[in-house]
Amino acid sequence: MKMRLKILKESRYTGLYDVAGIQPGSIDLFIKHFVDIGMDVQNKRREFFTSTFGDQIDSLTDTDIPRTSARGYGSALDKVKVALRSGTSHWYNQVFGSDMADFVIEAKVLMYLTELAEGLERIGYSTITGEEFNKLPTEDKNLVFEKHFLEDYLDSFINDHVKMGSMNTTGFLDNPGVGAGLYGQMKDWYMSTAGAGVLGQKIKELLPMLPQRAA
């Protein structure tokens, strides 16, 4: 069953890799954190944002939020509080302002690059030989490819692909007709529209945290 799910996920994003002209596997962790968000990522985000902003979120009232539908929740306020606890940058921008939304984006980037760094450390990236690399399973090789992709192509990836929106996604999460980036795939659409520049900037600033090759 796990193998079947893995194959389904891989085939689901083949088109994304194809349209972006990116080597398959080279942004697998980016996809996990910002497109097809893994349950472990969701749980870590919810724990972090609840522990960091829980008091501010709990104290919100109907007068503190812009008009929005309840859509699947008991009230509009309940919906917004759930979105804030999960780290939805659009709602941080709407309720707390752009500086807070920027902080949320930075926190998500840090979680993403932390997982990438831990993976690279696990495979011994700093000292791994060519022979050892060739013996790695594909998912571990992809960690190296993702690091190199970010180092070499981050600007063009953000400008040419992450900012490439799709109007097919305007019907979810109070999207005001701007769509979601990465051809409609970005789950937190604000990060690929008004917040795309911050996303790219924070990745660039935090890239040095990744392990480097030993001299």
Residue ranges of the domains in the chain?
Answer: 2-209
Q: Write out the two tokens for 62.
A: 């109907």
Give the model's pLDDT for residue 178.
61
Report the C-alpha gap between 93 and 73 in whole angstroms: 21
Report phi then psi at 37, rounded to 5: -70, 120
Report how far apart, in Å, the C-alpha atoms of 135 and of each of 27, 115, 168, 208, 213 are: 21, 22, 42, 27, 18
Listed as ranges, residues in the chain with pLDDT below 50 are: 1-8, 11, 169-172
What b-and-e string marks burial along 57-78, b requiring 16 or more CB atoms within 10 Å of the CB? Answer: beeeeeeebeeeeeeeeeebbe
Give the model's pLDDT for residue 69.
87
Q: Residue 158: is it exposed, middle or buried by C-beta count within 10 angstroms (0-12/13-18/19+)?
A: buried
Report the C-alpha gap between 187 and 205 in whole angstroms: 23
Q: Residue 151: is it exposed, middle or buried by C-beta count within 10 angstroms (0-12/13-18/19+)?
A: exposed
Give the model's pLDDT for residue 170.
47
Report the C-alpha gap between 11 and 7 in whole angstroms: 6
Give the model's pLDDT for residue 4.
36
What does the angle CA 20 – CA 170 – CA 70 come to, to the nearest 5 degrees?
140
If you compute the radius of gyration of the chain from its CA atoms, what whole number of angstroms results?
Answer: 18
pTM for this model (two decimals): 0.89
Q: What is the DSSP letter of 142?
A: H
Q: Cβ(44)–Cβ(80) under 8 Å? A: no
Q: Of all helices (H) and strands (E), which one includes residue 71?
A: none
Give the model's pLDDT for residue 71.
82
